Structure 1
Amino acid sequence: MKSLSISHADVVPHTSTGRPRPGPSWVRIFLGGSVLWAATVVVTFVTGNSNLVPTIILVGSFLVPVTFVAFAFRHGDAVITAQRVFTAFVYGGVLGVLGASLLESAFLTHASGWTYPAIGLIEEGVKLAALWLVARRLPFYTRRDGMVLGAAVGFGFAALESAGYAFNALFTSRGLSLLNLVETEALRAVLAPVGHGLWTALLGGALFATAARSRSGRPRLRTPLLGWYAVVVALHALWDASQVLAVWLTLLLTGTRGQWTSIVRLGELPGVTQAQVHTFTVLNWGLLAVDALIGLSLLLLRWTPLGRGRATAPVLPLRHVG
């Protein structure tokens, strides 16, 4: 009777062609989902049927994250299966938001200047731990696969977080506001591609790259990973603190003596002019744009060399043993 055997000596390199593999069309997912979300919003406004609100929240919060995960999936190796990506998206996202909620409620009881870096440390830490957990049984590890699987975890986190923000936006002092809900979802959908998914993709690439330097061939906690963790935490902190930084920059550029006195004594900013509002808006979005450009540049620098014919994953040929 013959059996199949895999020998470690049989591992040979596989050269990536750099071409996307077959998979779900992210364009169709985005266009189809956008039509469904818009139709649900219109019908809800027309009919006033509150039973449709959960549909708006779910479709709007998950549309962009799912679209980008579908895009990333097509650029992974065969070991990154659809089931594995789905697991990373759901399990990684849920474990991430649960872990972040518990740790932030335990350690961030008072607001301070360290709140934003602390949030970055916690949320990026729990996402990294979730990625490590869902990837522990992979047969091999490459930087590209780490970035794909990391994006799945990050976008799962982003989708669930956006759903929470959308739900909270529904409730106002004047009652339920469907307009607030729709605006919140639209804004977060625009910003989603350069947030959690991007940051965890960078961490995933760094995590899987440590496997090449490990005797066991498994990811390990090494100095380069900690360095990338610090970079991602800094990007996360700058993103969260952009509004506060924009306020202070606006004051430095246009603030009057009376405004400085009031904000020091009372913590309030009286007599805000329309010009200051415009300055704040430009600075706020400018800081977000700078943060996004830095993150995207780092992602491209880490990704581009991987599609130039380099060995990306081992192939295990099967041989018959009598």
Structure 2
Amino acid sequence: MATPNDAPTGWIAPRPAWPVILGAGFLLWAATVVVTFVTANPNLLPTIVLLGSFLVPVTFASWAYERGHGAHVTAELLFLCFVVGGLLGVLGASLLEAYLVRPSPLMYIGVGVIEEAVKLAALMVVAQRMAHRGARDGMVLGAAVGLGFAAFESAGYAMTSLVSRSGLDLVALVETEILRGLITPVGHGVWTAILGGVVFAASPRGRWRFSVAALVTFLGVALLHGLWNSVHGIAIVLTLVLTGDMWQTRLLSVGYLPELTPAQAHLSTALDWTGLVIVAAVGVLWLTLLAAGNRHTPGTQGDSGHTTE
């Protein structure tokens, strides 16, 4: 059994890679944006989309790998979860949502259930051959699948924002990538990390098993996901309930969202961001408590990076 004392005298732990990835990646993305503005070269647009969409997810996947201390997680497995797991999740969610989701008050809850289910299925497919699994392994690999999903999803949003009625809108593309980069760390990666940790804990080796805790966790993260997607609509409804005129209230009562006044738009935006912060805080706190509870369980690693099994 390896221990921190087995390290040779003068051994220095490697520096974390994620700050380099984030710093260098951001400079390259910013340089590409500037050159594209100056030269109006459309051939650089795919580079902006790819760098902007994948920079933050890759950075946080690296951070999770370096800080998560999963005893049985290799760099190759992390890569497969990010790319293969993330892409399988996006494809599966697109198919199921196209056939199963219909406009309704619970539409976003349904989206949350579908996307968390397909991300979990993708994680299980990629990690099926792991001989040993621990809760912290599930958190690290679950985060990788969720962040991969977010990266591919953000690329889609970036491409959609780029195309406008008047042509290619580079400003809208940059704004979309900045916004998606800010919210990515507290979304898909957190939810799938929570679910992965609980499912892996119930299935330490061999066939997958689902405990009551795993089912409750799935419903919980799906609800968080659904609330995250619903926050914008909830903010508009709350704004109209609190400040709406009679005509706005009447339209709302028959299922229509009336146009907001400038003052109402500001209030709605404030409520929107407040809701996102609350949902994000719940998810991050949940993941933090789960990680703390499994910090010293068998099969995890200590701060030195050595297996304590």
Q: TM-score when scaled to structure 1?
A: 0.87
Structure 1 runs (4+) greater than 4 angstroms displaced: 14-17, 21-24, 313-317
Structure 1 residue 79: deviation in Å?
2.1
Give the structure with the larger strand fraction.
1
Secondary structure at 2:256 match in 1: coil
Q: Does 1:306 align with 2:294?
A: yes
Q: In structure 2, what is the equivalent of residue 175 of structure 1?
A: 167
Distance 2:152 2:50 in 1: 9
Q: In structure 2, what is the equivalent of residue 28 of structure 1?
A: 20
Structure 1 residue 287: deviation in Å?
0.4
Q: Does 1:97 align with 2:90?
A: yes
Identity of aligned residues (%): 48
Q: In structure 1, what is the equivalent of residue 225 of structure 2?
A: 236
Q: Does 1:256 align with 2:245?
A: yes
1:228-277 per-residue CA deviation (whole Å, 9 max, x = no partner) reads 0001001000000011100111011111112112334582414x332211
Structure 1 residue 311: deviation in Å?
2.3
RMSD: 2.3
Structure 1 residue 131: deviation in Å?
0.5
Give the letter for the 2:59 counterpart: T
Q: In structure 2, what is the equivalent of residue 132 of structure 1?
A: 124
Q: Does 1:88 align with 2:81?
A: yes
Distance 2:62 2:35 in 1: 28
Q: In structure 2, what is the equivalent of residue 205 of structure 1?
A: 197
Q: In structure 2, what is the equivalent of residue 8 of structure 1?
A: none
Distance 1:310 1:299 in 2: 16
Greater CA radius of gyration, 1 or 2? 1
Give the letter for the 2:213 counterpart: P
Structure 1 residues 15, 242: CA separation in 2 closer, same or farther (over 3 Å shift)?
farther
Give the letter for the 1:90 counterpart: V
Give the letter for the 1:232 counterpart: V
Secondary structure at 1:241 match in 2: helix
1:15, 1:311 within 8 Å by CA — same for their partners in 2?
Answer: no
1:15, 1:310 within 8 Å by CA — same for their partners in 2?
Answer: no
Distance 2:15 2:134 in 1: 20
Distance 1:226 1:113 in 2: 24
1:90-134 per-residue CA deviation (whole Å, 9 max, x = no partner) reads 1101100110011111112x3111210110111000000000111
1:23, 1:73 within 8 Å by CA — same for their partners in 2?
Answer: no
Alignment partner for residue 284 of structure 1, among 272, 294, 299?
Answer: 272
Equivalenced residue count is 297
Give the letter for the 2:223 counterpart: A
Alignment partner for residue 29 of structure 2, among 28, 34, 37?
Answer: 37
Q: TM-score when scaled to structure 2?
A: 0.90
Q: In structure 2, what is the equivalent of residue 221 of structure 1?
A: 210
Structure 1 residues 266, 115: CA separation in 2 closer, same or farther (over 3 Å shift)?
closer
The higher-RCO structure (CA 8 Å, 6+ apart) is: 1
Give the letter for the 1:231 counterpart: G
Q: In structure 1, what is the equivalent of residue 106 of structure 2?
A: 114
Structure 1 residues 72, 23: CA separation in 2 closer, same or farther (over 3 Å shift)?
farther
Distance 1:218 1:23 in 2: 37
1:16, 1:310 within 8 Å by CA — same for their partners in 2?
Answer: no
1:306, 1:312 within 8 Å by CA — same for their partners in 2?
Answer: no
Give the letter for the 2:69 counterpart: G
Distance 1:210 1:15 in 2: 27
